[in-house]
Structure 1
Amino acid sequence: RVRDHAGPETVTLAHYRQRHAQYRTDPDLQAAHAAAPWLVVFDDHELADNWAGDIPKTPDAGFPARRAAALQAYYENMPLRASAKARNGGMRLYRRVEWGALATFHMLDTRQYRSDQACGDRYRSDCAERFDPHRTLLGADQQRWLLDGFAQSGARWDLLAQQVFFAPLELAAGPARGVNPDAWDGYVAERDRVITGIADSAVRNGVVLTGDVHAHWAAEIRRHPEDPLSAPVATELVTTSITSGGDGSDTRADVEAILPENPHIRYFSNRRGYLRATVTPDELRADFRTVPFVTRPGAPVTTAASFVIPDRLPQLL
């Protein structure tokens, strides 16, 4: 374990404040915040595992109060503007940040407005429910806001900073089918609407920036995600965790077994680290940075893989 957490499982406002305070005393985190500006969005574990809207993963009559407490503590401790202030158990976290004419960051919230996970939220499962066109990850207002932003884009690069794996990911080897219904694979129709919004709008270069899965991945997004021969529309860069998962490994046997099922996946690493993207008018260069260990200090950082996304060419080269 890289760290032991102080206090019990976070449930109350005092608990969430304590947990944030513990992380804020980490000198490496303090140095990271001092080194660069941050744009932040949360995923599930800022509150509880795999929550969806006002629905917890397991039944909990106290969940509304727990959600309100988690969002309040998040606002108090993270670099957010006053517009994100928590109110009535929720907060407006999705927003757009422009970096001149070079890049627009679409900061998404895929937790507060989502439909409950399909397939009973069983990892490596499959069901017809995940194709229901009424299912949503973004909610109607945020989806409309995102598509309107695509239609009006004047940036060279449109970057979707969001939480869960966007590209399809077949998790079962062979003829069986299995996905992660907590990711966009559980909300297929809405993913199709977002892909269409990128392809049929003013977006010049669409890149999805993702976290959640505690490993490095790189993928190409096709116009029809289930058809590997359809035209590429965007790319996805998934960053690993900084410490979660321990030292890790260069690869994993379970992932090697499914890579033939996912020809659009271009890279995987189970090491800890971070993703560094250098954006210019002509290209986006993605460097997957890794360290050999995190269970003790002093690890050297190296670039394990690099990809270039050229202007107007949604491919990983």
Structure 2
Amino acid sequence: MRRFDRRSFLLAASAALAAPRLWARPSFAAYPFTLGVASGAPLPDGVVLWTRLAPDPLNGGGLPPAAIEVRWEVADDEGFRRIVRSGTALAEPQHAHSVHIEVSGLAPARWYWYRFISGDAVSTTGRTRTAPAAGAAVDRLRFAFASCQQYEQGFYAAHRHLAAEDLDLVVFLGDYIYESSWGSRHVRKHEGPEPTTLEQYRNRYACYKSDADLQRSHAAFPWLVTWDDHEVDNDYANDRSEDLDPDFLARRAAAYRAYWEHMPLRRSAMPDGPHMQLYGRHDFGGLARFHVLDDRQYRDHQVCPRSGRGGSNVVDDQRCPSRLEPQRTLLGREQEDWLYAGFSGSKARWNIVAQQLLMAQTDRKPGPERQFWSDGWDGYPGARARLLQAIAVRKPANPVVIGGDVHFSCVTDLKVDFDDPNAPVVATEFCGTSITSQGPVQARLDALRPEHPHVRFANSEKRGYAVLDLTERRCLAQLRVLDSEKAADSPISTLAAFVVEDGRPGAETV
């Protein structure tokens, strides 16, 4: 028998003190499931289920520093008469009392319903769907993609309509929260000042996730998620913030942790300080592969920023020749290599590159002189050319790039060389408008259109999301827009529709 000496006793005691105590029979002062439920990262045999206990969500959650037992149930009927999987998990204070349940043992390509129970409280019911079996024939896949939902600039009527769509999946492409207050005609306010600490980021997520329409959207479908800049700080690049904060990595660590705590992500994505593995592949039978990218964590710094600042700028190549340096990277070389290997190995009929930005070249100055925005792909033209060349050479079937960030709907032809009018189209791009965030003036886009023959559509006047309907023969894209994001009960309509035929890159108007 091992001798239990004083040192061992002290180590054991320290561990016991460090571990949160268990609140075995919780009795909540208020309803704890205030932030709703969510599911994501679907596999053929399982999915991630998420919730967070937060009876006082805008003030740190309102719970003691104790682990709380949460029961979860998955049923194949909405009435939970046939529960097929169940279990218990601990909502721990070091993770803001969030839970991430990695359910397995489910059947492929079918709907399930789920809920959480803690004490006497029962969550709302969520619905989720598993992915089809690997390589399986799939007749159809319908998904929506969305981004950029500045809370103050509009109501989430788009999410209310999105929840009512006939979909299998939602892909969110970043700017889920905004750290800053900006824009005009606010309809509501953030819960506090710009976040920089873990508790402040948690409160900001709680502010957004308290919205009932966003909760409906999460509860209706599984989500795939990635981030852009506003989940941390506007225009940040790798380890550099817009205001050159010397402690930026500590802020990034807090923001990454809060992101993981509030998204339906696997434990393998849990951040290690300021580092987090977010990019990944998601297959849906033989019909579609999603290559979900991270364009912030590994990128080179933006070229030629304003004096004394980091972040973006509008630059021209005479004053800023470093924009054209071919080795510059937006994704980081490791992620680039991973992506290109995914192109080579894909057997899917459609290859969806889910990333944050407008990929097509956009000259921002009418006339013979040219200017480019340094934060987007135009700030990294060598990296963009490598990606599009990889598509041209490795030939994944039917590549479709989806993006956001710019707050306007845009449909483009993607080419390795945008300056050559005879260069072949290698991929199709659909860049979605924002959920709420205000867009640029339409007249500005109209003035630029004649010099951008690869742009087939551009509209900045409406907020909303996009729906893509995939079959083996075609991809149908519908740009769904609100009458006004300033009205909580705004109706929705289809602004435009496009089709991409199997084997023919480039979208045509329906």
Whether the TM-score (by the shorter chain) exceeds 0.5 is yes
- Provide the rounded CA distance (Å) in 1 between the counterparts of 2:370 and 2:395: 35
The CA deviation at 1:303 is 0.5
| Per-residue CA distance 1:297-316 (angstroms, 9 max, x = gap) | 22111101000000010011
Counterpart in the other structure of 1:59: 244
- Provide the rounded CA distance (Å) in 2 between the counterparts of 1:279 and 1:129: 40
- Provide the rounded CA distance (Å) in 1 between the counterparts of 2:251 and 2:489: 38
The CA deviation at 1:28 is 0.6
Counterpart in the other structure of 1:47: 232
- Provide the rounded CA distance (Å) in 1 between the counterparts of 2:431 and 2:344: 25
Q: Which amino acid aligns with 1:105?
A: F
* Equivalent of residue 101 in structure 1, options 281, 286, 306: 286
8 Å CA contact retained: 1:286, 1:306: yes
- Provide the rounded CA distance (Å) in 2 between the counterparts of 1:239 and 1:60: 31
Within-5 A mapping of 1:104-253: 104-120=289-305, 121-123=312-314, 125-126=316-317, 127-245=320-438, 252-253=442-443
Counterpart in the other structure of 1:306: 497
Counterpart in the other structure of 2:7: none
- Provide the rounded CA distance (Å) in 2 between the counterparts of 1:133 and 1:291: 41
- Provide the rounded CA distance (Å) in 2 between the counterparts of 1:69 and 1:129: 32
The CA deviation at 1:198 is 0.6
Q: Which amino acid aligns with 2:367?
A: G
The CA deviation at 1:65 is 0.7
Aligned partner of residue 31 in structure 1, secondary structure:
helix
Counterpart in the other structure of 1:287: 478
8 Å CA contact retained: 1:222, 1:231: yes
The CA deviation at 1:229 is 1.6
- Provide the rounded CA distance (Å) in 1 between the counterparts of 2:498 and 2:251: 41
The CA deviation at 1:125 is 4.2
Aligned partner of residue 389 in structure 2, secondary structure:
helix
The CA deviation at 1:257 is 0.7
| Per-residue CA distance 1:191-222 (angstroms, 9 max, x = gap) | 11111111111401111110101111111102
- Provide the rounded CA distance (Å) in 2 between the counterparts of 1:219 and 1:231: 13
8 Å CA contact retained: 2:304, 2:315: no
- Provide the rounded CA distance (Å) in 1 between the counterparts of 2:408 and 2:446: 14
- Provide the rounded CA distance (Å) in 2 between the counterparts of 1:3 and 1:168: 35
- Provide the rounded CA distance (Å) in 1 between the counterparts of 2:395 and 2:507: 21
* Equivalent of residue 467 in structure 2, options 276, 279, 285: 276
| Per-residue CA distance 1:76-132 (angstroms, 9 max, x = gap) | 001111121111311000100001110000000010000001232313644321111
- Provide the rounded CA distance (Å) in 1 between the counterparts of 2:316 and 2:208: 35
Q: Which amino acid aligns with 2:225?
A: V
Normalising by the residue count of structure 2, what TM-score does the alignment of the two structures yield?
0.60
Counterpart in the other structure of 1:258: 448
Instruction: Give runs of ≥4 in structure 1 deviating > 4 Å.
Output: none
8 Å CA contact retained: 2:289, 2:350: yes
- Provide the rounded CA distance (Å) in 2 between the counterparts of 1:266 and 1:226: 16
- Provide the rounded CA distance (Å) in 1 between the counterparts of 2:242 and 2:408: 23
The CA deviation at 1:72 is 0.2
The CA deviation at 1:289 is 0.6
8 Å CA contact retained: 2:325, 2:382: yes
Is 1:86 the counterpart of 2:271? The answer is yes
Aligned partner of residue 45 in structure 1, secondary structure:
coil
> What are structure 2's unaligned runs of at least 5 residues?
1-185, 306-311
Aligned partner of residue 214 in structure 1, secondary structure:
coil
Counterpart in the other structure of 2:146: none
8 Å CA contact retained: 2:314, 2:374: yes
The CA deviation at 1:46 is 0.2
Q: Which amino acid aligns with 2:422?
A: L
Counterpart in the other structure of 2:38: none
Q: Which amino acid aligns with 1:95?
A: G
The CA deviation at 1:226 is 2.1
Of 274-283 and 55-64, more deviation after overlay is shown by: 55-64
- Provide the rounded CA distance (Å) in 1 between the counterparts of 2:481 and 2:226: 23
Is 1:4 the counterpart of 2:189? The answer is yes
Q: Which has the higher strand share?
A: 2
- Provide the rounded CA distance (Å) in 1 between the counterparts of 2:210 and 2:321: 46
| Per-residue CA distance 1:156-203 (angstroms, 9 max, x = gap) | 011010011111011111112111111111111111111111111140
CA RMSD in angstroms, aligned pairs only: 1.3
8 Å CA contact retained: 1:2, 1:243: no
The CA deviation at 1:61 is 1.6
